[in-house]
Chain A
Amino acid sequence: MPRIPIALIALGLLSVSPTLRLPAQSLRIPYQTFTLPNGLQVILHEDHSVPVVAVNTWFHVGSADEQPGRTGFAHLFEHIMFMGSEHVPTGEFDRQLEAAGADNNGSTTEDRTNYYEDGPANALALMLYLDSDRLGFLLPEITADKVDLQRGVVQNERRQSYENRPYGLAQENILQRLYPADHPYHWPVIGSMADLQAATIEDVRRFFQTYYTPNNATLAIAGDVTPGDARRLVERYFGDIPRGPAGTRPRPPAVQVPDGVNAVIEDRVQVPRVYDAWHTVKAFAPDDATLDVVANVLAGGRSSRLYRRLVYELQIATDVVAFQDGSRIDGKFEIYATARPGHALSELQMVIDEELKKLADQGPTVREVERAQNGFEAQFLSRMERVGGFGGKADQLNFYNYFVGTPDYFQRDLDRYHRVTQATVQQAVRTYLVAPHRVVLSVVPQWKPELGVKP
């Protein structure tokens, strides 16, 4: 019998307070955790429903830890982690995993860098062998050629995902204006071409020695393996890697958005797009989930307020998106909408302003809040289906462990959304989404700045 990782507890219709709706289900991801003498924290979760296993490692370093002049370095380093280590020649990391039927990938954000391997349950020893070799034995194998090669790959990633994509440079233009130059969220994770070009092999060595230590990492293993077997393998492969120096992360400077930023950039596009961005709150701060609900009410699908006005009724936009983006040390809220041909961004901005004012003045309907909560609950359930990959259970255990210090925070996270009310949504709009502290960025066709939002 497969274990049932989600305990379903019917709570009936008991209501303890008129503003607090109880969830009908309870999510639980049983786990064990332990820490090796060298400081490596390990999280284990059993799920025998399919004979696959997922290994997911978070290093507590991201682009926010980069130095001026070296933006994009944390992500460039992530690429170098796949280029071979002392006992694993270049190319063998991927070849050995594929030959065992396993996949792998890595990703970098402002706050952390993660790596995963997914595959058949019998491949766990190989995954840990490979991961431990690049943690313990990477330095001697780093060469200028490897750095140069992955520098080229990453520069092409920047071209493919940002420069050669319509509106692709909007986000870095927003960050530049939302955060002061000395704030670590001032620059994008991908970094600048010039900084990527400037990175040296010495930078790589220093970065590895500072951040790629067992005491700066958390290893999650989920899937068809018993905790005892997993623990023995982890101890075997990671036990002899020495602890590194204790890391410190400096306190970021305070964020002060200059009043009324209104900027225009040109792009190779035929129709303009407007972005509104506000500095809000970091992940798991009291209003973080409320702002997720705000985003849902404003632009979550075709029944949302802004879609109805801009796309459906007025037909002056083709799309509209809103999201709260809470990170480790700060958060932002964004709305963007793309104009239809023949329409200028001031028309769109006027409607966005009207809808924000309406939501601030009157709050959302009961149904809007409940609809958003139901949507989040459904997403939480579907996130329970997979043990591996980005956003699988192993990755989520690491996520919660990193952000709130508790791997099995699934139900408590969902509870945050159930606690949102009409009043808190209204209050969040009034508090955060106010015009004086907003960055407005218009992305317009070349030589057509007149299509931008008028100051």
Chain B
Amino acid sequence: MKAAVRWSGSRAVSSGLAGWVLATAAALLTAASPDRLTAQVVDRSKPPVLAPPPALKLPAVQTATLPNGLELTVVEMHKVPVVDVQVMVDAGAARDPADAPGLATFTAAMLQQGAGTRGALEVADEAAFLGAALNTSASFDRAVASVHVPKRRLEAALDLLADVVLRPTFADSEVNRQRELRGAQLVQQRDEPVAVASVAFPAIVFGAAHPYGHPLNGTDAATAALARPRVVDFYRGYYHPDGTRVLIVGDVNLAEARRLVAARFGAWERATVPAFPTAAAPAPAARAVYLIDKPGAAQSVIRIGHVGPPRSTPDWYALDVLNTILGGAFTSRLNQNLRETHGYTYGAFSQFAARRLSGAFVALASVVTAKTDSSLIEFLKELRRIRDEPVPAAELAKAKAYITLGLPGEFETTGGAAGQFRDLLAYGLPLDYYDHYIERINAITAEDVQRAARRYIDPDHFDIVVVGDKSQIEAGIKALNEGPIVYRDVWGQEIK
């Protein structure tokens, strides 16, 4: 990166719908303006009193269902002539067969490697020629094929998107090519400590038996075994209009969107998609430190957490507020402590991962090697304090204001709004979710936060994952006496 940036966090408000058209606040702004005081000395002794924030006005989210069951959601945003289209398919990596971890993400990547009458390079060429950002990927909960494109090239971009979703070729030669590429990328991934932590942490927290416990992009052995029949089987099993949602955000209206989508996806044949896997959250294990050796590392990459509730929990509002206080914003406790008080890190954060099944709670930072033990002390101090002490009123108010008043900014761009809506649709939350969102956040009390902390943050059962230079950090971690040290490999697995 060329620029050095103050901090690299981002707003961690929960996923959700909106597509705001907010009431213009000209009158309020006028009231806030200090008329004709220019010549006078400014009173800097206290911050200005602000006018009330602009009121929210939610637009109707429009929906339609095609005869083949395909569900369409449209949010009109006409400021800039661009359109964001997301096709969400119920084909996430939680459905990976036990012997083929990585198959869902591989299948999603393969969608672009030849489709309709175009070869792999021709798909890429056409997307580039249209100025369309074409992406196909999968998370544990779903696969997504998307384009972001100028309005005047929308029809051609949708032609290409329909080819990619409905008519992927899966040629043997392309499967082999992608398999080799992925094998090489897995080698590179091991050099990147943050990537290693991102693979190892869920492997340790969920365990191999859970649908979220294997690496999203597979293992070396599973990658080497990838072949066309597995990809075709997976595609035929899960890529159907049933359970698929098409989301269009941008410079279109419902009738137009419906016509464009029906012309391309209307003949997609229905078929029953197997039920999403169910799995009980793994039984919590006693607290332990899982150490992954990275000789010579300048920092230790830390992940602390355990399984969490699914996104559908009614406690999500309390968790939003809780996490904003703890580690979701710049002034949150973890960042204030580890960065702004101690200088151990460039940034410390936490989050509750949103998932269909059990999610995960994780607190994270990259800390200077010599302060690995000191950082763990501060992490654990904050993670215990949020349970043990009620949150002071001012801190609670700040967190709630940050979430509620900052919300419009999350929906300013078509891509941003599409991301919020996509999550809402993916987790089965109601389309009027945000009609009540702000009042629900504002209703959260200090008692609610403490109750949520005690229920969903459990220091006795933390999995503490540290990717760092063992020779430099092991003794310090041992001396903390916060649980046994368990050595793991770069996949988070036991070292044989």
Interface positions of A (Cβ within 8 A of B): 2, 4-6, 8, 24-25, 47-52, 72, 75, 78-79, 82, 86-88, 91, 94-96, 98-109, 118-126, 129-130, 133, 137, 148-157, 159-161, 163-166, 189-190, 224-226, 229, 232-233, 235-237, 239-240, 268-271, 300-303, 308, 311-312, 315, 318, 325, 338, 340-341, 367, 370-371, 374-375, 377-379, 381-382, 384-388, 390
Bound-state Cα–Cα, A165 to B180, Å: 24
Choose among A6, A240, A269, A377 the residue that contacts B42 (Cβ–Cβ < 8 A): A240
Bound-state Cα–Cα, A25 to B151, Å: 11
| A-side contacts of B26, CB under 8 Å | 48, 226
| A-side contacts of B35, CB under 8 Å | 232
The smallest C-beta distance from A321 to any residue of chain B, in angstroms, reads 13
CB-based nearest A residue for B191? A166
The smallest C-beta distance from A417 to any residue of chain B, in angstroms, reads 12
Bound-state Cα–Cα, A161 to B366, Å: 10
Q: How many of B's residues come within 8 Å of A, CB to CB?
A: 102
The smallest C-beta distance from A160 to any residue of chain B, in angstroms, reads 5
Bound-state Cα–Cα, A270 to B294, Å: 13
User: By DSSP majority rule, is chain A's interface helix, strand, loop, or mixed?
Assistant: mixed
Contact of B33 with A381 in the complex, beta carbons under 8 Å: no
Choose among A4, A126, A159, A338 the residue that contacts B298 (Cβ–Cβ < 8 A): A159
Choose among A91, A271, A338 the residue that contacts B340 (Cβ–Cβ < 8 A): A91
Contact of B29 with A229 in the complex, beta carbons under 8 Å: yes
Interface residues of B in 24-68 (CB under 8 A from A): 24-26, 28-30, 32-35, 37-38, 41-42, 44-48, 50-54
Further 8 A-B residue pairs, CB within 8 A, beyond A318-B181, A367-B129: A72-B4, A98-B331, A100-B405, A120-B54, A133-B44, A226-B29, A229-B30, A382-B415
The smallest C-beta distance from A44 to any residue of chain B, in angstroms, reads 13
Contact of B296 with A123 in the complex, beta carbons under 8 Å: no
Q: Does B268 contact A (CB under 8 A)?
A: no
| B-side contacts of A8, CB under 8 Å | 81
Contact of B339 with A153 in the complex, beta carbons under 8 Å: yes
Choose among A152, A237, A315 the residue that contacts B343 (Cβ–Cβ < 8 A): A152
Contact of A371 with B125 in the complex, beta carbons under 8 Å: yes
Q: List 29 A-B contacts (CB under 8 A).
A: A6-B79, A6-B81, A51-B54, A82-B6, A86-B44, A98-B331, A98-B401, A99-B398, A99-B401, A103-B406, A107-B3, A109-B2, A120-B406, A122-B28, A122-B29, A123-B53, A156-B299, A189-B4, A226-B26, A236-B38, A308-B121, A371-B129, A374-B129, A375-B128, A381-B81, A385-B79, A386-B413, A390-B3, A390-B5
Contact of B412 with A269 in the complex, beta carbons under 8 Å: no
The smallest C-beta distance from B156 to any residue of chain A, in angstroms, reads 11
Choose among B25, B30, B132, B298 the residue that contacts A51 (Cβ–Cβ < 8 A): B25
Contact of A91 with B366 in the complex, beta carbons under 8 Å: no
Bound-state Cα–Cα, A302 to B297, Å: 33
Contact of B54 with A155 in the complex, beta carbons under 8 Å: no
Contact of A232 with B33 in the complex, beta carbons under 8 Å: yes
The smallest C-beta distance from A46 to any residue of chain B, in angstroms, reads 11
Bound-state Cα–Cα, A157 to B344, Å: 10
Contact of B128 with A371 in the complex, beta carbons under 8 Å: yes
Q: Quick check: which of B98-106, B182-190, B257-265, B426-434 contacts chain A, the rest being far away?
A: B182-190
Q: Which among B20, B133, B406 has the greatest number of chain A C-beta atoms within 10 A?
A: B406
Contact of A125 with B331 in the complex, beta carbons under 8 Å: no
Choose among B38, B45, B132, B188 the residue that contacts A166 (Cβ–Cβ < 8 A): B188
| B-side contacts of A87, CB under 8 Å | 44-46
Interface positions of B (Cβ within 8 A of A): 1-7, 11, 20, 22-26, 28-30, 32-35, 37-38, 41-42, 44-48, 50-54, 79-82, 120-122, 124-125, 127-133, 148-150, 152-153, 177, 180-181, 184-185, 187-188, 190-193, 295-299, 329-331, 336, 339-346, 366-368, 397-398, 401-402, 404-409, 411-415
CB-based nearest B residue for A99? B398
| A-side contacts of B414, CB under 8 Å | 385
The smallest C-beta distance from A155 to any residue of chain B, in angstroms, reads 7
| A-side contacts of B48, CB under 8 Å | 125-126, 129
CB-based nearest A residue for B51? A122
Which 8 pairs, one residue from A and one from B, show the smallest C-beta to C-beta distance? A101-B405, A152-B343, A378-B131, A51-B54, A302-B124, A303-B125, A385-B413, A303-B124
| A-side contacts of B46, CB under 8 Å | 87
Bound-state Cα–Cα, A79 to B41, Å: 29
Contact of A338 with B366 in the complex, beta carbons under 8 Å: no
| A-side contacts of B34, CB under 8 Å | 125, 232-233, 236
Choose among B29, B343, B401 the residue that contacts A153 (Cβ–Cβ < 8 A): B343
Contact of B121 with A236 in the complex, beta carbons under 8 Å: no
Contact of A166 with B192 in the complex, beta carbons under 8 Å: yes
Choose among A101, A107, A367 the residue that contacts B401 (Cβ–Cβ < 8 A): A101
Bound-state Cα–Cα, A290 to B162, Å: 34
Contact of B124 with A105 in the complex, beta carbons under 8 Å: no
Contact A121 B25, CB 8 Å, known A156-B346, A303-B124, A382-B80: yes
CB-based nearest B residue for A148? B343
Contact of A236 with B42 in the complex, beta carbons under 8 Å: yes
Choose among A235, A371, A382, A387 the residue that contacts B148 (Cβ–Cβ < 8 A): A382
| B-side contacts of A155, CB under 8 Å | 368
| B-side contacts of A338, CB under 8 Å | 188
Choose among A72, A79, A101, A232 the residue that contacts B6 (Cβ–Cβ < 8 A): A79
The smallest C-beta distance from A136 to any residue of chain B, in angstroms, reads 9
The smallest C-beta distance from A274 to any residue of chain B, in angstroms, reads 15
| B-side contacts of A48, CB under 8 Å | 24, 26
Bound-state Cα–Cα, A394 to B6, Å: 18
| A-side contacts of B192, CB under 8 Å | 165-166
| B-side contacts of A303, CB under 8 Å | 121-122, 124-125, 128
The smallest C-beta distance from A43 to any residue of chain B, in angstroms, reads 19
| B-side contacts of A166, CB under 8 Å | 188, 191-192
| A-side contacts of B402, CB under 8 Å | 98-99, 101
